[in-house]
Structure 1
Amino acid sequence: MAAPSTSENQWYTRGCYYCHYTLPVRYQQLSHIGQGSYGTVIRAFDEEIDQWVAIKKLTRPFQSDEIAQRAYRELKLTQYLTHPDAQLLQLYHVFTPEQELENFETLYFVFNFVPLNLNQFIKRLLPIAEDHINQIIYSILRGLKYMHSAGIIHRDLKPENIGIDAQSNVTILDFGLARTVDGSEKTVYVVTRWWRAPEIIINQSKYDEKVDVWSVGCIMAELILLRPLFPGTNQLTQLDAIFDVVGTPDIETLNEISNAVPLASNGGKIQKPQQDFNKLFGYKYDQTGENKISGVSPEGIDFLRSLLTFDPRRRPTVDEALKHPFLQRYRTAEDEPTKQRLIDIHQGAKHDVQEWKSIIWQMIQEFKPPSWINNKQDDNPMSSDDD
């Protein structure tokens, strides 16, 4: 039986928000968290470890070769990156209620539970202090350092995929689109549009881990403005929105990094200057002109400008970004975990559904929960007036 429970024969099925879950009896008190194109997520109380957890049920993981490969990749990368102190999602368990490979159709992941995400945090529309922005962005980059050191790109960083708890501990969530950096051409459609790096728009399948750095810049800007910075409605308007803020690069740069995709709805003919970042992101004061209510310092603006560098060749890596003076208040470089690069023999493999099933089934049988999951966590929901 492929299950993490010590009571391996004890299962139950229950509906929760239009979806049915077949779970070991250790998981109780189900409530809906969210759903996406490839899965649904619920909260449950794990009675064996006395903690709240998040359970993700993949939606038809073996519908096609491509979707089966995606399920494999999410399991492989999440398991490889699980770490108790790296600001990343932790994989506690993986299981299926099916008892034989021939009947294998359902796949569940069990993760550490995070009460809120940055999207919910931002939507409170309460000004966020610079120190708090500093702490959050440093934590995200610290997690990315661990991920990138393993040769893995997240590819879908956005506020909804950044968890945060009452103590402002940050967790990078959802590795469903993560991939290793292997030099091959990559999927064209990655990263939700508003946080998508320009090189993905104009070069599509040739990009590297710096796409995550751009997304961090978008998130930092959103923490300052309390709204998305680049709310494009399609590929072309997305690029126009970027040009409106960072300015239009010179034609030589565009030609060097473009693969002949139309560069903007205006055809690249209108040169747009960079907006004044000091005016856009700098300190805003109350009516007395004495008390800061939002914005960041010139040092923070310089840091944000570097993250939002249009040309990825000039944009900093995560390691370079972490050295910026803006982050030094919270940074302890020697306490930033790293990981050996992942060598995945199935990366880029062209298996059929049955082969992917067999590989994933074997991974479930061999899975061992991380040793630290029995440590009691403070997972009380964040109060509405926390900043």
Structure 2
Amino acid sequence: MDAGIQSHPNSEMLAQIGNGAYGTVYRARSASGQIVAVKKVRVNLSADGILLSTLRKVLLLKELTQCEHLNIVKLLDVCTGNRTETDLYLFLVLEHLEQDLSNYIEKCPQSGMGASLVRDIMFQTLMSGVDFLHSKRVIHRDLKPQNILISSSGTVKLADFGLAKTYDFEMLLTSVVVTIWYRAPEVLLNSTYATPVDTWSCGCIMGELFLLRPIFYGTSEVDQLDKIFSILGIPPETSWPEQTTLPWSLFKNYTAADLEGMMPDCSPDGLNLLQNLLMFDPCQRISAAKALAHPYFKEHGYIACYLNCIFTRILRRKRNVHKYFELTKDCNKINSVAHSITLHY
């Protein structure tokens, strides 16, 4: 291990498990013997110390952890390592899960992972986790299979909030967001954006779960848009953003491809949800909250009510309820249990 990681006081580093633009992740053992993930981040220092933007991100992680949402990776500890005049190492100790969704997809047989498993993954994280973030005015901005973790028991959690940002309705957001294959059209076109960029990424991931490969895999912003239009069809010129340097006429007049033929295992309700997640116009794109109530989930017994902020706080004391819900998938029983817990909270 390098000198920076050796200075971490509370964990024994076991192996490097990830490396990206925002830090290196290690599998580690805490002082109590718990297996954890330690993310080592090099941060720049200002004349006054740690940059305010870095502190905000740490505080955001701590705030999200305090809510104890089932589908959000928990921040367990924060400490500092080696320091120079210009930068220092920051260590984020996070709960450890066995694999990410990218590895999970790679291990799937060519026959696919099955429609019911896709639905469960989509409901657990890509919808309930994202809905929770959006309810906290947080845009993840980098949703991709590598940032979605899966435990051995099948629990799915959102991770890696390096690009996450709280927002208000007047702020300008930077355009450097989201790995290109999961990037929404409004970002590719350098237009304004908000929470719908996350639901677009959810749609891309849903398509990948059925295809076992990225649904849109461009090599540049223009090529990515071309790949999107070749499958979804080119949008009408009237819906094209006004403030963009790329003209609508630059692209071929594609018609929509046969999504049902591309994804024969996806049900009609699933295709409808996918199309709503992948709407070109972000104002027409379905929100995470509305997606949770979509027939794709509702008709199979998935209930969104227990994932709202109030019920998440209830689950802090009743951790076995989620397991119960998974086993029963029965609307009346779920609502009854929810009412009972509320009375005793």
Question: With structure 2 as the length reference, what TM-score do the two structures score?
Answer: 0.82
Matches within 5 A, 1:168-247: 168-183=154-169, 184-204=171-191, 206-247=192-233
Residues 203 and 258 of structure 1 are in contact (CA less than 8 Å); yes or no, is this contact kept in structure 2? no
Unaligned stretches of 5+ in structure 1? 1-14, 283-294, 340-370, 373-387
Q: Matched residue of 2:281: which SS?
A: coil
Residues 121 and 156 of structure 2 are in contact (CA less than 8 Å); yes or no, is this contact kept in structure 1? yes
Unaligned stretches of 5+ in structure 2? 311-315, 318-345
1:75 maps onto 2:61 in alignment:
no
Deviation of 1:72 after TM superposition, in Å, equals 2.3
1:155 maps onto 2:141 in alignment:
yes
Corresponding residue of 2:253: 271
Corresponding residue of 1:249: 235
1:334/1:300 CA distance change after superposition, 3 Å? same
1:74/1:263 CA distance change after superposition, 3 Å? farther
Q: Greater shift after overlay, 103-112 or 243-252?
A: 103-112
Pick from 226, 233, 243 the counterpart of residue 259 of structure 1: 243
Instruction: Give the partner amino acid of 2:124.
Output: S
Corresponding residue of 2:36: 53
1:47/1:273 CA distance change after superposition, 3 Å? same
1:201/1:104 CA distance change after superposition, 3 Å? closer
1:336 maps onto 2:318 in alignment:
no
Deviation of 1:298 after TM superposition, in Å, equals 1.3
- For residues 260-313 of structure 1, give each alpha carbon's deviation from its aligned partner in whole angstroms, at most 9, with x where no partner exists: 22147x613x3111111111112xxxxxxxxxxxx2111111111111111111
Corresponding residue of 1:33: 17
Instruction: Give the partner amino acid of 1:120.
Output: N
Instruction: Give the partner amino acid of 2:99.
Output: L
- For residues 106-136 of structure 1, give each alpha carbon's deviation from its aligned partner in whole angstroms, at most 9, with x where no partner exists: 2111000011001111112421110000000
Cα distance between partner residues in 1 of 2:104 and 2:25: 19
Instruction: Give the partner amino acid of 1:198.
Output: P
Matches within 5 A, 1:223-372: 223-254=209-240, 257-263=241-247, 267-268=250-251, 270-282=252-264, 295-328=265-298, 329=300, 331-338=302-309
Deviation of 1:29 after TM superposition, in Å, equals 4.8
Question: With structure 1 as the length reference, what TM-score do the two structures score?
Answer: 0.73
Residues 200 and 278 of structure 2 are in contact (CA less than 8 Å); yes or no, is this contact kept in structure 1? yes
Question: What is the percentage of aligned positions where both structures have the same residue?
Answer: 34
Q: Per chain length, whose mean CA-contact separation is higher, i.e. which structure has more relative contact order (CA < 8 Å, sep 6+)?
A: 1
1:162/1:168 CA distance change after superposition, 3 Å? same
Instruction: Give the partner amino acid of 1:93.
Output: D
Paired positions, count: 306
Q: Hey, which of these two has a bigger chunk of helix by percent?
A: 2
